[in-house]
Each structure stands twice: as structure tokens, then as C-alpha cells.
Amino acid sequence: LSCTFPVFFSQLFLEKYGYFSEPGPGTHSPAEFTEALRDFQRVTHLPPSGVLDAPTLRQMALPRCGTDDGESRAAGPRRASPARRRRRTAQHGGRWYKRHLRYRVVNWPSYLPQHEVRLAVRAAFELWSNVSSLLFWEAQDGPADIRLTFFHGDHNDGLNNAFDGPGGALAHAFFPRRGEAHFDSAERWSLHSGKGRNLFIVVAHEVGHTLGLEHSPVKSALMSPYYKKLSKDFVLSWDDILAVQNLYGKPSKGSAIQLPGKVFTHFQDWNTDLYGRDRQQRSLSTYYCHSFFDAITTDGDHNLYIFKGSHYWVVSESGNASDPRPLQPRWPGLPAGIDACAWSQLSGKFYFFKGGRCWRYAGSKLEAGFPRKCSALGLPRHPDTALYFQQLRRLVLFKGPKYFVVGEEPLGAEPYYPRSLRDWAGLPPGTAGALTHRDGSVYFFRDDQYWKFDQAKLQVVASGKWAAQLAWMGCWDANSEQVLF
């Protein structure tokens, strides 16, 4: 072989993506090169000529996943040689031996809002959990089964895996149970369907690898190696669904939920589409038990209100959960995906917080002057948790390592706040919501965990998993059907 630039480039490419059985550029015979090219052409639906022509070179230059093409080539008429298969089994295949996996977004591009990145990543994981028996929780810190990290260039997992700047390899991931997906920081990532690489689509694809899925030879599959724009059609193809169900089985409740791509162009609204669909799905009244929620509070009749997306659930004092109800008729004008909610025992009013704004309702009536720009009143933007705290007869807003005490009339932060979260001994930062229970304790929630805070001792006195351990959360019926917690 004459080592012209295109030949050298294509050899490196075919080697990187697993089309040669032996490593080392320049060590391949012309016959091996032709065979590898033909394999690549089959996988990419080009005429399998074995000739390095312009369409083949163009195909090699398209943006794609950096994980190699492994067994997807075996779908062609020529089976992999035994030597090649042996090499593959060492790297490919594998699965997790549990259904309940934690993931963590380690970092993300600074130009993307954290909240939206987390929603996009959550939606990408839910794409897979909707059609399989898997369940995912986000870990905001600490250990996780699957870690998502952005890197520049060489990042210590082999020169073959060094990122290549804009275009080319966008991301890569490792098969179970390494639990790593890496994304090229040099790409222009986006959360919308227009310019840039859609992060949701690429995360969803890489998560597929971390679960054990290989590249698919089916052109329309999410697991096909080439980058796709977010389309209005279905995101997962039958091939993706069969592949994940082959490893982990079907969803334990109802049938698979298949969501069209247009749902994912507006993450804030995606629950609306989910529930608006007239189809069999998981038991809706306990959906919140297996997922995250945005906020939680309790009213004077000891009803729990659990908020997620554009819906809320009411759990009565006896522990019976309602079906999900849309926010709109109950609280007109309230947007989906609120940050925090609290019901005030003092005024009997509901407070909602999202971004820098707040809403206050007496019954279903939005009070005059609301929504207000509460960040201008000294309140934090995007509070983690809101709570009515009986001891102070004030609202408390939690945000990261700090908390704010907030008076209702006039609405605003009290002087000398924020203060350190250390005042709430044993409480972790980043809780999703809190409520004062009729037993007199304050319960804080984050992911699948709860912390019980004693108001007299001013410290956390117990913690655990809320769905399994707190009967009044209304999840015991849901749990009895499967052993997950």
C-alpha cells in the first residue's frame, strides 16, 4: 500500500473502530485493508466495493461515536474470524447484575445551564428505563455506577481514545461494568434541535453503551454509530428496544413507553406528552415512587403534594396516592418543573419558586402582584427546597450550602441571612424538598433518600430510603410488586 494521506487516515480510522484484528498502522496487508474497508462499507450501507473511494472517505469524516463498531459488523454476510471474536468478547458484551443504577454528571460545558443539562441527562436515562426493567437515580455527588464526564483531547484512557476537536468522534463510552461515558469538550453542545450537537441524543446513545449495547447496523437505530439530529420521529428503534430488553427484560409495570423525538425538544413539557398519551403505561398513581420529584409539601389536612414536571400527586393521610393531576386548573399560571414549593401554616397559602420568580396562591387564586421577581427580595434563584418552619413561623429556603429565612408579610429575606447549612446538623446540601410531618419532625428528600430532622434537638436523627421506609409516602403497594429497594 502506498501511504498517501487518505490511505493512512483510513487505516487509522479502521483500526480505531475495530476493523482490524491486529493492531499497528502499516502492518496490514492489502487484502486485510480491502476486507476491512468492505466491512465498514457494509455497516454504513455503502456499496461494499473494498475500494477507498470518495463516498467512503466522506463517510469516515462524519461526526460519530468514538466507541468501536465491534460486533455490529457481524450482521454482514461475512462472519468475524474466531481470532477477532475472541478479541471482541474481552471488550464487548457484559451487563449489570442489578436493575437499580446510580448515575452522576461529573461536569458539563459552562455555557449550558446546569438545570437543563440535568433534565436532558435524566430524559436520556428515562428513554432506556421506559422500555426496560432498569431504574436510574441521579447521584449529585459521591459514588455512582455510571459517570458522565467532559474531556479535552487526551484524557488518560489511551491515545486511541484521545478526543479530536470539533467533529469526528463526539463521545465514547465503556461497556459494563466500567460505567464511564466521555464527551468531547471541544464540540459545540446544545440542548435544542437547532445548531450544535444535541447533548440529549449523544448522552442517550452513550448510556446505551454503558448498559452493554453495541453499535447497531440498523440505520434508524439510536445505537447506530453515526450522529443523528434530534428528529420528530421516535428516538428508539425496535432494534434498540430489543437490544436493551435482551439484557434486562421488559418494564416491570405495564408495557414499554415509547416517546417520539419531539417530546425531547422541550424538556420542561415532556411529562405533559407522556401523560397525554392514550396508552398502557406504568401505574401512574405510583410513578413518583420510582422517580425523582421536583418539590413536596403538606397542607393543613396532612395531605402530601408531590410535584414532578407539569403534574402533581396528592397522598392522603391514609397513604393513598391520587393519579397525577395537571398543575394548571389547580394553580392557574404555574409553570411546569418548579424548583420548590411550601404551604404556609401561618397564612394557609401555597408558595412556588422557579428560577428567580415566585408565585403565591390563596386556594386556586394567584395573588395580585404575582409572579414576582423574588430574587430581587433577597431570595435565592433556583432554591433547592422550600419549607414552612413552625419554630420560626417563617418560610425557609435552602440553596446549596446555605439557607434563607423568609418573612411572608412583607415577603423578603430576613436580615443576617443566608447562613450556613451547618445550622441544620446532619443535613446534606441539594435536597429536592421538605415537609413538616404530623409526627412533628421535618423530613427532607433527595433522590431516593430521606433525612428526618428533629425540631427540638435541631439535628438529623434518622435517614433512609423514603419509598421503602415511609409508609405515608404512599409507595408500599408499588414496592410490594418488585424487590428493588
Part of the chain binding Zn ion (CB under 5 A), chosen from 21-29, 66-74, 259-267, 332-340 = 66-74
Nearest to Zn ion of 144, 327 (CB atom) = 144
149 binds Zn ion (CB under 5 A): no
DSSP state letters, 440-479: S-EEEEETTEEEEEETTTTEEEEEEEHHHH-GGGS-HHHH
Q: How far is CA 58 from the centre of its chain?
A: 33
DSSP state letters, 102-149: EEEE----TTS-HHHHHHHHHHHHHHHHTTSS-EEEE-SSS--SEEEE
C-alpha cell recorded at residue 110: 459552562
The 23-62 site mask, x for binding Zn ion (CB under 5 A), equals ----------------------------------------
C-alpha cell recorded at residue 336: 411546569
Residue from 73, 88, 102, 182 touching Zn ion (CB under 5 A): that is 182
**Number of residues lying near Zn ion (CB under 5 A):** 5
Question: Pick the catalytic residue: 15, 126, 206, 214?
Answer: 206
Residue from 157, 239, 273, 414 touching Zn ion (CB under 5 A): that is 157
Identity at 255, one-letter amino acid code: S
67 binds Zn ion (CB under 5 A): yes
Extract the annotated binding site for Ca(2+).
Answer: 145, 164-165, 184, 187, 294, 296, 339, 386
C-alpha cell recorded at residue 255: 408495557
Plot region of 382 (φ>0 → left; ψ -120 to 50 → alpha; else → beta): left
Part of the chain binding Zn ion (CB under 5 A), chosen from 65-73, 103-111, 245-253, 324-332 = 65-73
> Does residue 409 carry a catalytic annotation?
no
161 binds Zn ion (CB under 5 A): yes
Nearest to Zn ion of 182, 452 (CB atom) = 182
Distance between CA atoms of 366 and 27, rounded to whole angstroms? 73
The least distance separating Zn ion from the CB of residue 168, rounded to whole angstroms, comes to 13
The least distance separating Zn ion from the CB of residue 155, rounded to whole angstroms, comes to 5
The least distance separating Zn ion from the CB of residue 247, rounded to whole angstroms, comes to 16
Task: Check: CB of residue 289 under 8 Å from CB of residue 472.
Answer: no
Task: Check: CB of residue 325 under 8 Å from CB of residue 369.
Answer: no
65 binds Zn ion (CB under 5 A): yes
Q: Residue 366 forms beta bridges with which residues?
A: 361
239 binds Zn ion (CB under 5 A): no
281 binds Zn ion (CB under 5 A): no
Nearest to Zn ion of 127, 366 (CB atom) = 127
The least distance separating Zn ion from the CB of residue 172, rounded to whole angstroms, comes to 6
The least distance separating Zn ion from the CB of residue 176, rounded to whole angstroms, comes to 14
C-alpha cell recorded at residue 485: 429497594
6: phi then psi, degrees, rounded to nearest 5: -60, -40
- Catalytic positions are 206
Residues that bind Zn ion (CB under 5 A): 65, 67, 157, 161, 182
